[in-house]
């Protein structure tokens, strides 16, 4: 059986990664499964353990690092760790399924290096930083302090876009979903 491929999606927080990924998973046309990352950040309202993230304590996260459980992990915001678990990726790939990762820019570049042609790295761009701030405010899941931290990191994160295999601007959502869908389908068919 052919091993599954890896689809990496990165973007500054609030660009619409989760919205686009969820729309594609819901359509169900592409054989791909979402890799649930681990994090030590607290769950937002409505987020579920094992669905959005594996929510770990600081100690559990550091034990998982020590036990070699991560393919990669990053301190994306000060004190906030996020990591891709080996068990989320390896079994699915061995079974021939493609796996989609929602990970930050450093993690995305690292995973692309690890998997080479078996991975597609896709960068979602916002129409502007101002629009990104508006989206985070209307999402209403983070405090203003948290939103400013995220917006403050966005310009740095956008500087990684040229290192990605493909880029999609998420201005009109339906168009961004359609473009992402096409790029992933072409990659999987290769």
Q: Where along the sequence are the contacts to ligand 5GP (CB under 6 A)?
A: 13, 37, 41, 72, 74, 76, 82-84, 102-104, 107
User: Nearer to ligand 5GP by C-beta: 4 or 88?
Assistant: 88
To the nearest whole angstrom, how small is the minimum distance from the Cβ of residue 44 to ligand 5GP?
8
Judged by CB under 6 A, the stretch of 11-19, 38-46, 84-92, 156-164 that binds ligand ADP is: 11-19
Count CB-CB contacts under 10 A for residue 7. 25
Residue 45 CB partners (closer than 8 Å, separation 6+)? 141
Which listed residue (4, 16, 83, 108) binds ligand ADP by CB under 6 A? 16
User: Nearer to ligand ADP by C-beta: 4 or 12?
Assistant: 12
User: Nearer to ligand 5GP by C-beta: 29 or 63?
Assistant: 63
Here the tokens at position 142 are 């983070």
The three-state (H, E, C) secondary structure of 92-149, written as one string: HHHCCCEEEEECCHHHHHHHHHHHHHHEEEEEEECCCHHHHHHHHHHHCCCCHHHHHH
Residues 17-36 binding ligand ADP (CB under 6 A) are 17-19
Here the tokens at position 91 are 């079994």
Contact between 158 and 12 (Cβ < 8 Å): yes
To the nearest whole angstrom, how small is the minimum distance from the Cβ of residue 178 to ligand 5GP?
22
Residues lying near ligand ADP in the complex (CB under 6 A) are found at 11, 13-19, 135, 138-139, 170, 173, 176
């Amino acid at each position: 059986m052919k091993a599954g491929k890896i689809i990496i999606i990165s973007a500054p927080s609030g660009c619409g990664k989760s919205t686009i990924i969820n729309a594609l998973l819901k359509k169900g046309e592409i054989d791909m499964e979402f890799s649930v990352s681990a994090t030590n950040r607290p769950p937002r309202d409505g987020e579920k353990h094992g669905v959005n993230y594996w929510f770990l304590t600081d100690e559990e996260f550091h034990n998982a690092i020590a036990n070699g459980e991560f393919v990669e992990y990053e301190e994306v915001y000060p004190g906030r760790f996020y990591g891709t678990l080996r068990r989320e990726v390896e079994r699915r790939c061995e079974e021939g399924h493609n796996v989609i990762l929602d990970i930050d820019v450093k993690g995305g570049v690292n995973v692309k290096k690890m998997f080479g042609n078996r991975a597609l790295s896709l960068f979602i761009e916002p129409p502007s930083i101002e629009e990104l701030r508006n989206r985070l405010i209307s999402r209403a899941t983070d405090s203003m302090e948290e939103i400013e931290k995220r917006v403050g990191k966005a310009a740095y994160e956008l500087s990684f876009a040229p290192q990605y295999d493909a880029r999609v601007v998420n201005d009109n959502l339906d168009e961004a979903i359609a473009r992402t869908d096409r790029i992933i389908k072409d990659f999987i068919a290769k």
